[in-house]
Each structure stands twice: as C-alpha cells, then as structure tokens.
Amino acid sequence: MKIKNITSVGRKKVYDLSVEDAEHYVLENGVVTHNTGIMYSSDNVWIIGRRQEKEGKEIIGYEFIINIEKSRFVKEKSKIPIAVSYDGGIMRWSGLLELATEGGFVGKPNMGFYQHIDPETGEMIGPKLRAKATMNKEFWEPVFEKTDFREFLKKKYTLGYQTMMSQDEDNIEETEEKV
C-alpha cells in the first residue's frame, strides 16, 4: 500500500489498544498497526527490586531498590534505595548514607566507618561510626542543615532543575537588549 495523500486533521485524542496474544493487528481498511505497549504509553515506569536484610540467618527486613526506567519527573536510570524492617517499617534515613558519601558530605575514614565532612575545610570531623549508628536524626541533622545536601539530591534526581521563571527572565532581558 502506498500513501497517496496526507491531510492534516489537527490534534486528535489517540488511544493505545491492547490485543490479547498479539502485538500487531490488521484494521478494517487493511492497515497493519502495532501496539506501543506499556512502556511508550506510560508517564512513569518504576521497577522495584528487593534483597533480604539478615542478622545471622534470620530475615529482619528488605532493602528495596526503585529503578526509574521512565519518568517525566525523575531522571531516568536513577536508583532510589529504601530499607524496610519488620520491627520498624520504612527506615527513615535509608539510602542517604550512600548518597551523602557520593556527594562528599560524609566520608569513609576506614572500611565500614563513616564521618561527617566539614563543608568549610573538606576534612572529616566527629566520631567514626558504623552504618547502623548513622540511622538517626542526630547524625543527619547537621548534614541537612549545614551543607547543600538537599541541593545535591535535587540535582541528582530532578528533571529540568532550573526554575522556569529565571529562564523566562533571562530570555526577556536578552530580547530587550537586542531591541
């Protein structure tokens, strides 16, 4: 079949159809079409993996990793770790230690130990702590209040990090200068 003519009909609502046991099908007029599938029609596709958390042989919870495969809000291929224990539910501070280490807000002075990093000097300060000992407000409050860790997280995960208002203001100023 050859296309003889294309006529614009403007914007129309379209639908993604699912046909059982077939990824393609023939329409009444003989046109063969193909389903786009869930990945193309979704705004967000997050795949959740998990691994067991154990003490000895006893399972005490799970660590979930949310893999962002597609999103209009979060950078694709991001990984978000969340730990859930049987006794306490979602662990509030889970996943932050790896991110703070990656961003240079927390250091590893020795294998298995962590320390705050002074934002002024870049030196490690405070007591050396095991990972479990960092899972509290006392450890994380200075990281959030005395550093730009929040900004680091926004830049790491958010799409279109700049505010639209500042972009529009910059464009207006450039246009006014040219006129």
Chain segment 17-55, per-residue pLDDT in tens: 666 766 566 666 666 666 666 677 778 899 999 999 999
- Using the 8-state DSSP alphabet, how is residue 134 labeled? G
pTM equals 0.63
Q: What pLDDT sits at residue 107? A: 96
When pLDDT is averaged across residues 70-80 and rounded to a whole number, the result is 89
How confident is the model over 108-157, as pLDDT tens digits? 999 999 999 999 999 999 999 999 999 999 999 999 999 999 999 999 99
pLDDT interval class at 3 (50, 70, 90): confident
As for how many domains the chain has, the answer is: 1
pLDDT at 38: 67
Secondary structure letter of residue 132 according to DSSP:
G
For residue 117, count other CB atoms closer than 10 A to its CB. 21
Percent of the chain with pLDDT over 70: 73
Q: Is position 34 within any domain?
A: no
Identify the burial level of 179 via C-beta atoms within 10 angstroms of its C-beta, where 0-12 means exposed, 13-18 middle and 19 or more buried.
exposed
d(CA 45, CA 41): 10
Residue 142 counted as domain residue: yes
- The answer to whether residue 134 sits within a structural domain is yes
**What is the residue-averaged pLDDT of the chain?**
83
| Residues 119, 123, 129, 135, Cα dihedral to 10° | 10
Which is higher by pLDDT, 97 or 159? 97
Is residue 98 situated within a structural domain?
A: yes
Residue 5 has pLDDT above 80, yes or no: yes
Amino acid 57: pLDDT: 95
| Predicted local confidence at residue 53, as pLDDT | 92
**H-type alpha helices, 21-163:** 37-41, 96-103, 137-146, 149-157
Q: Is there a domain that residue 111 lies in?
A: yes
Tally helices (H) and strands (E) across the chain.
5, 9
In a domain, 33, yes or no: no
Asked whether residue 140 is domain-assigned, the answer is: yes
Which domain range does residue 148 map to? 92-162
The better pLDDT of the pair 173, 145 is held by 145
Q: Is residue 156 part of a domain?
A: yes
